[in-house]
A and B are shown apart, each in its own frame.
Chain A
Amino acid sequence: MAERRRFPLVPGLLVTAVICFLLYHMVRVLIPFALGFAVAYVANPIVSTFELKGLRRWVSVATLFLAVAGAFALAAGGLTDLVTMQFSTLQSSAPKYLTDSKAMLEGFEAKHIRRIPAAYRGMVSKEVNARLYDPLIDQVQKIPAYVLDLFPVLSMALLVPFITFFFLIDGPGAIDGFIQACPSRYVEQALHLISEIDASLGSYLRGLIIEALAITAASFTGLLIMDVNQALAIAVIAGVFNVVPYLGPALGAVVGGLVALFQYGTIWAPAKVLLLFAAVKFADDWVLQPIIAKHSTHLHALTLLASLMVGEALFGIIGMLFAVPVVCVLRALIKVIWTWYSTESRFRAPELLDGAALPYT
């Protein structure tokens, strides 16, 4: 029997440690590359369809880019105007909403403060202001800043397509290059690893897009039925920010709830919006996710939560954005190592099929 292959544990751990160290210190530099890779990954099936017709890859990629640019140009005249208008209305209404909220809270204070002895009113009012209004108003005023904090990603609008272009052009050639660089006897293992990462990451990204579209559509419909202002802008926020699990619907509920509160002036309107986003998230978890999970690798809710917390602790909002895909890759890696370990070490004996002993007739 030939010499057994052993999993190169020590070199493997060393390489992993070096990669983790570099990633930790270069994460901000790598963001456009990671985004470019994600976009290229999602767009690759379209390029592959062109490739099937025998077209060169650069022709397919250039055609795709031209088509997307054309679509953007068309959208700029229509949908973009609508979204921009809704966002600007939302932005211009924000101060009014804040004033209204302060007036509402002041009314509440004036109504209940009468019950407090006169000697303590000034002190209580001061305390309430310091402990309730000021932090609240401060946080509410920071909401646009929080949202805008996430938008540096959009500043890469030129860089990401540029990187995407090269990822798409190189495409399978890069994978073949990696396989060529592997030691010959480990080629099958390299294929195994690529295949597992491909399956895990691919299904995650495709699922993410389906989810984002579904959440946007469902939220928009619900908000339209409730006749809440800036329905499209709120729905887009909910859909887009769903790239970080739970953040989209939560953000949609907060922004939508505030808009509804100041639009209708009752507590029921934001409550309905809150219910709507809870229902959207519920439908996503219990209806959409199982359908997506049929074709994808499902992550446990606790794994999701833990990965988001670790991502946030390490790299902030960017860490949250990439937490789940990184977990998908790590899971694929562990799966491959375990399969390697168990099969090469003969932990899993081959099963003898029923009927294998019968003569061939």
Chain B
Amino acid sequence: MLRFFKRLFFDENFNQKKAFLKSLDLFKDLTSREIGLLAQALHSRTYHAGETLFLEGDIGRALFILESGKVELSRREEQTGKSRLIYTIEPGEFFGEMALLEQLPRTASAVAAERSRLYLLYRSKLDNLLHYYPRVGVSIMSHLAQLLSARLRRASALSAKAADAVHG
């Protein structure tokens, strides 16, 4: 009986969405209420297999979080002009975060490899969170900054290794 009323009055989908977001590293420091605020700021969309999310060179305006399915990131090679798969996004991973920091052309194309459900965080929604709920916004921005730092460190190490290889 209690379960019936709970199902009648409480939104299971919203709670599942919150649980999914809470499981992501990007939002791990947020409280349940803050995760709820974030869940309200996200938009969801289902992409069919083969649908293009964005192409390399498009101006980025949103962060994508993959809930289910698979999304392939590919980049066009300058010499051959052919597209090369660089990464396959799995559920629970996010991409396109650069759009939250600056409006620059995307560095890769994203295509749904199978039917995929994604959450989109638009830049101005994050700005709103930063304005009205600074803790939420700062936590996300701080995690993004750490991620960028890690990637830059990795890129520096790779370029140093490549330079060493060239110079013997």
Find residues 169-211 in chain A having any chain B CB closer than 8 Å to their own CB: 172, 175-176, 179-180, 184-185, 187-189, 191-192, 195-196, 199
- CB contact under 8 A between A2 and B57, given known A48-B40, A52-B36, A195-B125: yes
Complex alpha-carbon distance, A54 and B8, angstroms:
11
Question: Taking the complex as formed, is B45 at the interface, i.e. its CB lies under 8 A from any CB of chain A?
Answer: yes
In the assembled complex, A4 has its CB within 8 A of some CB on chain B:
yes
Q: Which residues of A contact B (CB under 8 A)?
A: 1-5, 48, 51-52, 54-57, 59, 172, 175-176, 179-180, 184-185, 187-189, 191-192, 195-196, 199, 343-344, 350, 359-360
Q: Is the beta-carbon distance between B11 and A192 smaller than 8 angstroms? A: no
The answer to whether A51 and B40 touch (CB under 8 A), given A1-B56, A184-B51, A188-B62, is yes
Residues from chain B with Cβ under 8 Å of A191 in the complex: 43, 61-62, 120, 122
Please measure, in the bound complex, the distance between the C-alpha atom of A52 and the C-alpha atom of B35, giving whole angstroms: 9
CB-based contact B61/A51 at 8 Å: no
Taking A175-B43, A192-B122 as known contacts, 15 extra A-B pairs with beta carbons closer than 8 A to each other, sorted by chain A number, are A1-B56, A2-B55, A2-B56, A2-B58, A48-B40, A51-B14, A51-B36, A54-B14, A55-B11, A172-B40, A191-B62, A343-B103, A350-B104, A360-B149, A360-B153
Q: B51: shortest Cβ distance to chain A, in Å?
A: 4
What residue in chain B is nearest A192 (Cβ atoms)? B61
Task: State whether B120 touches A187 (Cβ < 8 A).
Answer: yes
| B23 interfacial contact with A, CB 8 Å | no
CB distance from B34 to the nearest CB of A (A): 10
Residue of A nearest to B78 (CB): A1
Contact between A51 and B103 (Cβ–Cβ < 8 Å)?
Answer: no
If A2-B55, A191-B61, A344-B59 touch, whether A52 touches B33 (CB-CB below 8 Å) is yes
Contacts of B44 in A (CB 8 A): 176
Q: Quick check: is B46 within 8 A (CB to CB) of the other chain?
A: yes
**B118-139 contact mask (Cβ, 8 Å, vs A): 1 or 0:** 0010101100000000000000
**B125 cross-chain contacts in A, Cβ below 8 A:** 195
> A195's contact among B109, B122, B156, by CB below 8 Å, is which?
B122
Could you list 17 A-B pairs, sorted by A, with CB under 8 Å? Answer: A1-B76, A2-B56, A2-B57, A4-B57, A5-B58, A48-B40, A51-B11, A52-B33, A54-B15, A59-B9, A179-B43, A180-B45, A187-B120, A188-B61, A195-B124, A344-B59, A360-B152
- Shortest A5–chain B CB gap in Å is 6
Cβ contact within 8 Å between A56 and B11? yes
Q: Write out the residue numbers on chain A whose beta carbons fall within 8 Å of the beta carbon of B99.
A: 188
Residues of B in contact with A (beta carbons under 8 Å apart): 8-11, 14-15, 33, 36-37, 40, 43-47, 51-62, 76, 99, 102-104, 109, 120, 122, 124-125, 149, 152-153, 156
CA distance A43 to B13 in the complex (A): 22
Given contacts A187-B120, A188-B62, A191-B62, contact A1 B57 (CB under 8 A): yes
Contacts of A343 in B (CB 8 A): 59, 103
Q: How many A-B residue pairs have CB under 8 A?
A: 92
Instruction: Please measure, in the bound complex, the distance between the C-alpha atom of A2 and the C-alpha atom of B56, giving whole angstroms.
Output: 6
Chain A residues, Cβ within 8 Å of B52:
184-185
Chain A residues with Cβ below 8 Å from B43 are: 172, 175-176, 179, 191
- 9 closest cross-chain pairs (CB), A and B: A2-B55, A188-B61, A52-B36, A184-B51, A191-B122, A195-B124, A2-B57, A56-B11, A343-B59
Q: Are B11 and A54 in contact (CB under 8 A)?
A: yes
The minimal Cβ–Cβ distance linking A349 to chain B, given in whole angstroms, is 10
A2-B109, A179-B43, A184-B52 known; A350-B102 Cβ under 8 A: yes
Chain B's closest residue to A178 (CB) is B43
Q: Is the CB of B124 within 8 A of A179?
A: no
The CA-CA distance from A199 to B9 in the complex, in Å, is: 31
B33: chain A residues within 8 A (beta carbon): 52
Q: Closest Cβ of chain B: how far from A88's Cβ, in Å? A: 44
- Residue in B10, B46, B103, B120 whose CB lies within 8 Å of A54: B10
Specify which chain B residues have a CB less than 8 angstroms from the CB of A196 in the assembled complex: 124
Residues of B within 8 A of A55 (CB): 9-11
Q: How far is the CB of B116 from chain A (nearest CB, A)?
A: 11
